[in-house]
Chain A
Amino acid sequence: MNNSLRQKLEATFKDIQVSIPEDSKITITAESDSVPAILRFLKDAGFDHLALLSAVDWIEDDCFELCFILTSYMQNDDEVTGRQRLHIILKTRIPREKPQFKTVIGIFPNAEPYEREIHELFGINFEGHPRLTPLLLEREYEIPPFRKDFDTRKYVKDLFDNIPFVEIEEK
């Protein structure tokens, strides 16, 4: 099944690289513009569960990598097939300067909180997202905190070392 899917993908989309590093795993690397079309294609091919949407900051290559992990629910209600074992990792790179990406909520509605989280932690803007409001964090940060150039230890030192000591008087 892996190979037939690979052939179909390569026939439909021109600028993608498909690799099968393991038996039950397919990795697809694509340009960011063609990602929605690929996601739609994969969803129609039965990969209807977006398990995770993640981002990686490759600071040395000066880009962010968005990573969609797709698996499939059961089609008939009572049997597990080899299909449920398979998972697809779809990766795309976007530039670190002014990172923009088109929202995929229209294809996978459960991407909504993931995109919100990535917007907050990496500063990637998802065009067309209905509410990119803060999700987990409490303070404002100059650099989004999950980027590699944000130094957690320095931030903690700057924040908490500036709190003055309180003199407690002896009674």
Chain B
Amino acid sequence: MRELELYFGPQHLGMVGNFSITLKVEGDRILEAQANPGYLHRGFEKLMEYRTWIQNFPMVCRINVVEPDSMEMIYAMAVEKLAGIEVPERANYVRSIYLELARVGSHLFGLWAYANMLGFDTVAQWAMYHRDLVLDLFEELTGGRVYHIYIWPGGVRRDFPPGFKEKVVNTLHSIGGCVPDYDATFFNNRLFYERANGIGKITQEQAKQWGATGQTLRATGMPYDIRKAEPYAAYDKVDWDVPTREDGDAYSRVWVIRDEMIESVHMIFKLLDVMPEGSVYNRVPNPFKWKIPKGEAYVRCESSRGELGLYMVSNGDDKPYRVHFRTPSYPNGLIILEKLLKNASIADVGNIMISLYVVAPEIDR
């Protein structure tokens, strides 16, 4: 049969996001795949070298459109580590609750993308609606729906408004009440099982070799989670589990995402119960006049996709000397995707890509 080159994305119905894959196909079978990132390269890391420490705060969250909150967290963590800023106890709890809400919102968005791509439109609309409820919470807490700029060095920008705790509980209960519906129509649906089972299979050894973290690794049976491995914020204050699966295929990855959402909701309830009173912000010196001591730091946190790291170098100036983000989609989209697409069929390209949870803006930065 004749060999053809096929451009999959960025203008393609099966492609979600600004990303493209060049496929070499023979009939329906893919011989070779090449991932092409860069459609959303804005050069953030270079632009950050031109801006003062505090001016970078509204910028970092824009790196990942789907989940900006972990980006804020990691930048705040790096600045706090380099400058030696302390965070009050209550702020740690507020940060954890906020990041878990962001995880639920991000997973619902991911569920929308996946269900939509597979043709489960009803489930996709439900997920989008429920994500909107989470965004309403963010709007009340921070004033912004998508970009919040809420976590600052020294704490968070403001405390919970009156009645916010009850609203979080009510919203999460109403989302949680729909889990049986989600299960019946999507996760336990035979159509979905047939479509996702055995697709994009990866072994634990391969996952380790290719630098996978997050769901891709946890779906192969390793409960590796930065929140457990190197606890930050208040994740070591409450008891929670890391959901895993054994098979390493698309079906397992989606189930890990589902279980993680439920675990996050339980974690938020637990954190709300034990949250101490007090201030959420330590007064820091005037941020417009910051000069951060010379040094380097690598900090990491668990974003909704895996290990999110930040390597930051300061040369004692009022601007960062070098920043480099280690984003979880980077190995997923540039290595694992290429390897898994070999010998797959064209109909499964979008399926494999979204089950790996690839988010293009995170790769391009």
In the complex, which residues 300-331 of chain B have their Cβ closer than 8 Å to any Cβ of chain A? 300, 307, 309, 311, 313, 321-322, 324, 326, 330-331
The answer to whether A164 has its CB under 8 Å from any CB of chain B is no
Chain B positions within 8 Å of A146 at CB level: 45-46
Q: Are B331 and A74 in contact (CB under 8 A)?
A: no
Q: Are B228 and A51 in contact (CB under 8 A)?
A: no
Chain A positions within 8 Å of B331 at CB level: 110, 113
Chain B contributes a number of interface residues (CB within 8 A of A) equal to 36
Interface string of B7-50 (1 = CB under 8 A from A): 00000000000000000000000000000011001010111001
In angstroms, Cα B310 to Cα A54, docked, is 10
In angstroms, Cα B221 to Cα A56, docked, is 36
In angstroms, Cα B322 to Cα A57, docked, is 8
Q: Are A77 and B223 in contact (CB under 8 A)?
A: yes
**Among candidates B37, B221, B298, B330, residue contacting A87 with C-beta atoms closer than 8 Å:** B298
In angstroms, Cα B224 to Cα A85, docked, is 11
The answer to whether B176 has its CB under 8 Å from any CB of chain A is no
> Quick check: which of A3-11, A30-38, A95-103, A135-143 contacts chain B, the rest being far away?
A135-143
Task: For B299, give the chain A residue with the smallest CB separation.
Answer: A87
> Quick check: which of B113-121, B205-213, B278-286 contacts chain A, the rest being far away?
B205-213
The answer to whether A153 has its CB under 8 Å from any CB of chain B is yes
Task: For B335, give the chain A residue with the smallest CB separation.
Answer: A110
Q: Are B222 and A77 in contact (CB under 8 A)?
A: yes
The answer to whether B72 has its CB under 8 Å from any CB of chain A is no
In angstroms, Cα B322 to Cα A135, docked, is 20
The answer to whether A24 has its CB under 8 Å from any CB of chain B is yes
How near does chain B come to A122, taking the closest CB pair, in angstroms? 11
How near does chain A come to B290, taking the closest CB pair, in angstroms? 21
Task: For B81, give the chain A residue with the smallest CB separation.
Answer: A22
Q: Are B46 and A138 in contact (CB under 8 A)?
A: no
In the complex, which residues 102-124 of chain A have their Cβ closer than 8 Å to any Cβ of chain B? 108-110, 112-113
How near does chain B come to A84, taking the closest CB pair, in angstroms? 4
Chain B positions within 8 Å of A113 at CB level: 330-331, 334-335
Given A74-B223, A85-B229: A51 and B296 interface contact (C-beta under 8 Å): no
**Among candidates B43, B209, B228, residue contacting A80 with C-beta atoms closer than 8 Å:** B228
**Among candidates B46, B47, B298, B324, residue contacting A89 with C-beta atoms closer than 8 Å:** B298
How near does chain A come to B24, taking the closest CB pair, in angstroms? 15
Chain B positions within 8 Å of A13 at CB level: none
Q: Are A145 and B230 in contact (CB under 8 A)?
A: no
The answer to whether A78 has its CB under 8 Å from any CB of chain B is yes
Q: Are A152 and B47 in contact (CB under 8 A)?
A: yes
What would 14 A/B residue contacts be, using CB atoms closer than 8 Å? A50-B211, A51-B211, A52-B326, A56-B313, A56-B321, A69-B309, A73-B222, A87-B298, A109-B210, A110-B331, A113-B331, A136-B41, A145-B43, A146-B45
Taking beta carbons and an 8 Å cutoff, which residues of B are in contact with A?
37-38, 41, 43, 45-47, 50, 208-211, 217, 221-224, 228-230, 296, 298, 300, 307, 309, 311, 313, 321-322, 324, 326, 330-331, 334-335, 364
Closest 4 CB pairs of A and B: A110-B211, A84-B229, A52-B326, A136-B38
